[in-house]
């Protein structure tokens, strides 16, 4: 048995545990149980093996052997493409779609988590070889929690204040507060909307947040998460019963109109607050050269 056998085994275990710790199925039901999880656990095992084997290769000065990490990066990019293609195909069958921005964020996240697995297994194996299993175990646990922290992005509650507002009609116009949502002229549909509809005002905490929630992909993510968690009162072929989010062009507030089957205000506010801030939607205009000192909302 090689002197590296136990360190390699230890590194693979730490890396695989890291992927398992980062793998969860929440109310969005992604990855799905069970086959989606099997795929990602298998990829996590492969990533852990790659990160672990790289350490003995470096210590033995077999530098050509670690070129397979470049191949691994290419393979994990294919993972992103796989996730993107799969979610794009099924998104058209959702009553409230995720949107392309949300899908791209999910795809990037699953690619990035494999790199975190490589990092965790690499450092764990390296410490094991240099010291002993006790210190390696400590480093491995730290690496697992660090990877979990790095995978978690920001949420909407950190950039906006959320307030419930009862939807109302002014003639045929549907409003959330003073924000126009859409035109509904059929009286029966108006009654359904008043019965099942909920309205929320998202007030940005900064100018950067104002630009972020203006992104159409970020808005669609809000509508999708609320509709997935609380259900949605609509079916195909009912264009009047569509959740929408519209801006107040004067101050950048966002009016969100949803039609949940479970009309629970506190739950809905909590769900909106937990919607991830999509990486591709983040805008930071105050960081530009013309706004070096930042810009406060009035």
Write the pLDDT tens digit of every residue in 165-207: 999 998 888 999 889 999 988 888 888 888 889 999 999 988 8
Question: Residue 135: which of 16, 14, 19, 5 has the closest Cα?
Answer: 14
Question: pLDDT tens digits, the chain, 298 residues: what are they?
Answer: 677 888 889 999 999 998 888 876 544 545 665 667 788 888 889 888 888 888 888 888 777 766 777 777 777 777 788 888 888 888 888 888 888 888 888 888 888 888 889 899 999 999 999 888 899 999 999 998 888 887 777 888 989 999 999 999 988 889 998 899 999 888 888 888 888 899 999 999 888 889 889 999 999 999 999 998 888 888 887 777 889 999 998 888 999 999 998 888 999 999 999 998 888 887 777 666 666 554 555 4
Are the CB atoms for 223 and 197 separated by under 8 Å?
no
Q: What is the largest CA-CA distance in the chain?
A: 81
**Hey, what are 232's tokens?**
């949605």
pTM attached to this predicted model: 0.82
Question: Residue 143: which of 160, 158, 122 has the closest Cα?
Answer: 122
Tell me what pLDDT residue 27 has: 47
């Amino acid at each position: 048995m090689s002197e590296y056998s136990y360190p390699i085994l230890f590194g693979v275990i730490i890396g695989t545990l890291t992927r398992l710790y980062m793998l969860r199925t929440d109310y969005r039901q992604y990855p799905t149980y069970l086959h989606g999880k099997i795929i990602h656990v298998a990829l996590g095992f492969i990533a852990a093996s790659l990160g672990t084997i790289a350490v003995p290769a470096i210590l033995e000065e077999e530098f050509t052997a670690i070129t397979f990490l470049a191949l691994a990066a290419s393979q994990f990019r294919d993972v992103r493409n796989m996730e993107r293609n799969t979610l794009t195909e099924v998104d058209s069958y959702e009553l409230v779609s995720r949107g392309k921005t949300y899908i791209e964020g999910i795809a990037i996240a699953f690619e990035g988590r494999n790199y975190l697995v490589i990092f965790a297994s690499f450092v764990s194996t390296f410490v094991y070889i240099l010291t002993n299993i006790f210190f390696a175990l400590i480093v491995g646990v730290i690496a697992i929690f660090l990877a979990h922290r790095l995978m978690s992005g920001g949420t909407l509650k950190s950039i906006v204040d959320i307030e419930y507002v009862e939807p109302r009609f002014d003639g045929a116009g549907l409003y959330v507060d003073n924000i126009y949502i859409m035109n509904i002229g059929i009286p029966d549909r108006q009654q359904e909307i008043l019965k099942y509809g909920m309205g929320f005002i998202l007030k940005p905490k900064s100018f950067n947040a104002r630009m972020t929630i203006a992104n159409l992909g970020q808005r669609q993510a809000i509508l999708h998460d609320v509709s997935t968690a609380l259900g949605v009162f609509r079916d195909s072929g009912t264009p009047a019963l569509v959740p929408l989010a519209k801006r107040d062009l004067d101050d950048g507030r966002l009016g969100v109109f949803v039609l949940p089957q479970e009309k629970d205000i506190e739950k809905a506010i909590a769900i909106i607050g937990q919607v991830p801030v999509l990486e591709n939607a983040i805008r930071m205009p105050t960081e530009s050269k013309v706004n070096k000192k930042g810009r406060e909302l009035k």
